[in-house]
Amino acid sequence: MGYRLSKIYTRTGDAGETGLADGRRVTKDHPRVDAMGEVDTLNSHIGLLLADLAEQQAQHPGLAEIIEVLAPCQHRLFDLGGELAMPDYQALQAPEIERLEGAIDRWNEEVGPLENFILPGGSRLIAQAHVCRSLARSAERRCQHLNAVEPIRGVGLAYINRLSDLLFVAARVIAKRQQVAEILWQAAPKQAD
pTM: 0.88
Sorted by where each starts, the structural domains of the chain and their CATH numbers stand as 27-178 (1.20.1200.10)
Within a 10 A sphere around the Cβ of 110, how many other Cβ atoms?
Answer: 13
Q: How confident is the model at residue 40 (pLDDT cuts 50, 70, 90)?
A: very high
Residues 53-85: tens digit of each pLDDT = 999 999 999 999 999 999 999 999 999 999 999
Residues 102-120: tens digit of each pLDDT = 999 999 999 999 888 999 9
Q: How far apart are CA 152 and CA 125, in angstroms?
A: 33
Within a 10 A sphere around the Cβ of 180, how many other Cβ atoms?
Answer: 15
**pLDDT, mean of residues 121-140:** 97
Q: Which residues contact 10 (CB under 8 A, 6 or more apart)?
A: none
Residues 155-164: tens digit of each pLDDT = 999 999 999 9
Q: How far apart are CA 154 and CA 190, in angstroms?
A: 45
